[in-house]
């Protein structure tokens, strides 16, 4: 596809999605609307499969995703990050909840979701393991499941996580949007009652940096942040992925902000930030281009069970643990639902909820200050950290019965 045409089509989709989100006051999030448009477009053949890759945005996203992660780190102070230990526990409970719920589904519906194939025999437990990894994790978890399944000749189990990974945003985005709207409205009332500390936006934006002026320009900022991303990649490679690139980048961002080297929201205000964010969001829609109607049809029943029981496990475990730790039920469930999409949805949905509930810049800033740090840490605790660990452990169960 012509690269310019592809770029223009993608921008049109995002423009329409953003317009709908604003008109519905984020009831229909921009991510959800864009997901629906892309899914229909790819399944119907209106959009060619190479639309996203031809636009060059996927390639750009692969380069700048680390930059955005560092930026996220600089949006959270070290004190804020320390306060999120409860969020980490809710995230762990969420992944366990998905596993338990899918295990129950396997016991109840096992004979109906298992079946022989030419290259192996898939049992209910295989779908449970594959579904847990896919629902609670990102690309890394899916790859772990696929490697284990192909290793014992179960191609249907290797395929199973792909439509889950591609479609789970369609479930997670609207559910989180609705729940966060309730939480944002509650926080707005708390702010008006004086129970939430005001966020002084001017002080955050005007915070200084120890970097020389030459390194605070658009090019200079991208150069310095790029060095941090390279360092994160290096640590990832040295530890064979034990210390994930994005986790390291987030920690670097938090640390460098705390040391005064990076200003808060280090990429904020530079000319390239808007385009970088759009490119990152395109990563969310990449898997939709590979979904075939036949894939969804063949695995329709296991997919339905995975989503119904998985979401039930997320809601039940996250709400219970979150409530015990002092979080509201909506905030707890929203934290759990991050397992269905992770970043950048965690940031976009938080910002949309805050803008939808707040009526003044001060209210929006106060609401976002309460929601965004939890959602960012939640995304990493469910998708990046907990899920990869859990998936690595349980993947060995595939094919063992």
* More reliable by pLDDT, 340 or 229: 229
Q: So what's the pLDDT on residue 188?
A: 93
- Mean pLDDT within 147-163: 69
Q: So what's the pLDDT on residue 59?
A: 85
* 17: Cα within 13 Å, side-chain hemisphere: 22
Query: Which ranges of 259-343 does DSSP label H, i.e. alpha helix?
Result: 273-285, 293-298, 300-324, 329-337
Q: So what's the pLDDT on residue 189?
A: 93
Reply yes or no on whether the pLDDT at 108 is more than 70: yes
Report helix angle 245-258 to 57-74, nearest 10: 40
The DSSP annotation for 176-244 comes to: HHHHHHHHHHHHHHHHHTT-SPPP-HHHHHT---SS-GGGSSHHHHHHHHHHHHHHHHHHHHHTTTSS-
Q: How confident is the model at residue 376 (pLDDT cuts 50, 70, 90)?
A: confident
**Which value, in Å, is the radius of gyration of the alpha carbons in the chain?**
21
| CA distance readout (Å), 180 to 41, 42, 185, 279, 346 | 28, 29, 8, 24, 11
Interior CA angle at 258 toward 254 and 264, to 5°?
Answer: 70
Reply yes or no on whether the pLDDT at 158 is more than 80: no
Q: How confident is the model at residue 18 (pLDDT cuts 50, 70, 90)?
A: confident
Quick one: residue 290, left, alpha or beta (phi over 0 = left, psi -120 to 50 = alpha)? alpha
Q: So what's the pLDDT on residue 202?
A: 46
Q: How confident is the model at residue 179 (pLDDT cuts 50, 70, 90)?
A: very high
Q: So what's the pLDDT on residue 114?
A: 47
| DSSP structural state of residue 83 | T
Spatial CA neighbour of 186 closest among 326, 331, 323, 321: 331
Reply yes or no on whether the pLDDT at 395 is more than 50: yes
| DSSP structural state of residue 360 | S
Q: How confident is the model at residue 367 (pLDDT cuts 50, 70, 90)?
A: very high
| DSSP structural state of residue 384 | I
Q: Are 87 and 381 in contact (CB under 8 A)?
A: yes
Give dist(CA 78, CA 253) in Å, integer: 10
Reply yes or no on whether the pLDDT at 333 is more than 80: yes
Mean pLDDT of the chain: 80
pLDDT tens digits, one per residue of 204-235:
444 567 888 888 888 888 899 999 999 999 99
Question: 141-150, 254-263, 289-298 — which is least confidently predicted?
Answer: 141-150
Q: Are 154 and 401 in contact (CB under 8 A)?
A: no
Q: Residue 240's CB: how many other CB atoms inside 10 A?
A: 7
Q: Are 130 and 388 in contact (CB under 8 A)?
A: no
SS3 26: coil
Q: Is the dihedral of CA 51, 229, 76, 261 positive or negative?
A: negative
Q: What is the dihedral of CA 321, 99, 247, 380, to 10 degrees?
A: -50
Helix, strand, coil percentages, rounded to 5, for the chain:
75, 0, 20
pLDDT tens digits, one per residue of 238-269:
988 777 787 788 889 888 988 889 888 888 87
Q: Residue 70's CB: how many other CB atoms inside 10 A?
A: 27
Tokens for 256?
Answer: 């460098």
Q: How confident is the model at residue 39 (pLDDT cuts 50, 70, 90)?
A: confident
* More reliable by pLDDT, 183 or 236: 183
Question: 16-20, 129-133, 191-195, 325-329 — which is least confidently predicted?
Answer: 129-133
Q: Residue 59's CB: how many other CB atoms inside 10 A?
A: 12
Q: For tokens 């690139």, what's the residue? A: 245
- Mean pLDDT within 40-61: 88
């Amino acid at each position: 596809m012509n690269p310019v045409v592809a770029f223009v089509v993608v921008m049109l989709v995002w423009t329409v999605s953003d317009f709908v989100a604003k008109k519905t006051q984020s009831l229909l999030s921009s991510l959800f609307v864009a997901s629906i448009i892309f899914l229909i477009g790819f399944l119907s053949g209106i959009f060619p499969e190479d639309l996203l890759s031809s636009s060059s945005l996927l390639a750009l996203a692969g380069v700048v995703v680390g930059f955005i992660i560092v930026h996220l780190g600089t949006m959270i102070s070290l004190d804020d990050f320390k306060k999120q230990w409860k969020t980490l526990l809710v995230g762990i409970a969420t992944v366990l909840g998905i596993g338990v719920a899918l295990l129950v589904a396997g016991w109840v519906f096992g004979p109906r979701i298992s079946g022989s194939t030419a290259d192996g025999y898939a049992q209910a437990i295989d779908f449970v393991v594959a579904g847990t990894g896919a629902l609670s994790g990102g690309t890394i978890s899916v790859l772990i499941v696929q490697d284990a399944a192909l290793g014992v000749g179960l191609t249907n189990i290797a395929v199973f996580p792909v439509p889950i990974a591609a479609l789970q945003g369609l479930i997670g985005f609207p559910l989180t949007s609705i729940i966060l709207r309730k939480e944002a409205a509650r926080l707005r009332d708390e702010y008006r009652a004086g129970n939430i500390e005001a966020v002084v936006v001017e002080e955050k934006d005007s915070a200084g940096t120890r970097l020389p002026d030459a390194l605070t320009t658009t090019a200079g900022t991208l150069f310095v942040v790029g060095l941090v991303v390279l360092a994160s990649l290096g640590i990832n490679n040295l530890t064979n992925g034990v210390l994930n690139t994005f986790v390291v980048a987030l920690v670097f961002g938090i640390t460098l902000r705390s040391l005064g080297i990076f200003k808060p929201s280090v990429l904020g205000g530079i000319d390239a930030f808007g385009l970088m964010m759009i490119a990152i969001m395109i990563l969310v829609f990449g898997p939709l281009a590979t979904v075939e109607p036949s894939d969804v049809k063949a695995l329709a029943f296991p997919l339905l069970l995975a989503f119904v029981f998985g979401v039930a496990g997320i809601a039940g475990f996250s709400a219970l643990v979150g409530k015990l730790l002092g979080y509201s039920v909506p905030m707890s469930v929203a934290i759990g639902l991050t397992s269905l999409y992770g970043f950048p949805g965690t940031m976009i949905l938080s910002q949309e909820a805050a803008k939808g509930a707040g009526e003044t810049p001060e209210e929006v800033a106060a609401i976002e200050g309460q929601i965004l740090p939890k959602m960012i840490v939640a995304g990493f605790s469910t998708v990046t950290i907990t899920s990869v660990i859990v998936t690595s452990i349980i993947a060995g169960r595939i094919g063992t019965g």
